[in-house]
Amino acid sequence: MPLSQFRLDGKIALITGGNRGIGLATAQLFALAGARCLLSARTETDESRALTESGKHAFLGGDITDPATPDKLVEETIARFGRLDILVNNAGVADGGDFHDFDDERLARIIDTNLIAPFRVARSAVKPMLEQGSGSIVNIGSISGYVANKPQLQVAYNSSKAAIHQMTSVMAFEYAARGIRVNALAPGYIRTRMAIDGMEDPAMSKVWAENTPMGRFGTPEEMANCILFLASDAASYVTGSTLVADGGYITH
């Protein structure tokens, strides 16, 4: 396989949650691979601004849970760059606690952000992809969609990520014959803002590391490598898959 299969020259990508962590690392790698990116998040960071200030890439702030935001993101991507080839559906939040005490407000925040918003963004992105007859969507799930994590309790979060995996599978079935590939990435414990509190807690960090056969946490850059593969022509015969990148966590 020629290395050019991993290039994204001329491709346009929309990346939600693109201001930090996995989303930002993906945008930076996509830029190196030749893509132009529209990043979206509630706020821009110094790191995302460093990428977009060149003018080759753009940032659009917004609340992903606002029903109007998905259409705006897709419309802005096409207005700026003329098309949409890749969607990285990355924005998400985490929350945990005893199931019997998990109130409706916290439940709504998890489901609205981790399932309903990605559903709407993908729905908006599919429409121009259908018109051009091609596209690649990468939804970000989690190993939490497969296992019960410990020591933290997070039924709502795990359920939302399991739903993303199933959404990916059924979308892939629906659009495979129309030129659109849909895959997901299921990261393990990654050094991002979402997980940093646990990683800085000696007791929790010890449990997480001991339950990861490789004995370490992953990096956003390692996840970006996986996303580049799924989004690129290197994965041209891959659709409906959820790639687990977790240092072996779910092997036991």
Annotated catalytic, 157? yes
**DSSP code for 16:** E
pLDDT at 16: 98
Strands (E), the chain: 12-16, 36-41, 58-61, 86-89, 135-140, 180-187, 242-245
Catalytic residue among 146, 157, 189, 249: 157
The letter for the amino acid at 241 is S
For the segment 62-98, what is each residue's pLDDT rounded down to a tens digit? 999 999 999 999 999 999 999 999 999 999 999 999 9
* Distance in angstroms (rounded) separating the CA atoms of residues 39 and 54: 13
Provide the CA 176 distance to its chain's centre, in angstroms.
Answer: 20
* Mean model confidence pLDDT for the chain: 95
Triad 153, 156, 158: Cα angle to 5°: 75
* Nearest residue to 81 (alpha-carbon basis) of 50, 61, 52, 48: 52
The letter for the amino acid at 103 is D
Model confidence at 1, pLDDT cuts 50, 70, 90, reads low
Q: pLDDT at residue 48 above 80?
A: yes
Interval 176-189 mean pLDDT: 97
Cα Rg, the chain, nearest whole Å: 17
Interval 237-241 mean pLDDT: 98
Beta pairing partners, 17: none
Interval 140-147 mean pLDDT: 97
Contact present, 41 and 29 (Cβ < 8 Å):
no
* Distance in angstroms (rounded) separating the CA atoms of residues 228 and 185: 11
For the segment 191-217, what is each residue's pLDDT rounded down to a tens digit? 887 777 777 888 888 899 899 999 999
Q: pLDDT at residue 243 above 70?
A: yes
pLDDT at 119: 98
Contact present, 40 and 73 (Cβ < 8 Å):
yes
Helix (H, G, I), strand (E, B) or coil at 229: helix
Token pair 């022509």 in the structure block, residue? 233
Q: Which domains, from first to last, does the chain contain?
A: 2-243 (3.40.50.720)
pTM (2 d.p.): 0.96
Q: pLDDT at residue 160 above 80?
A: yes
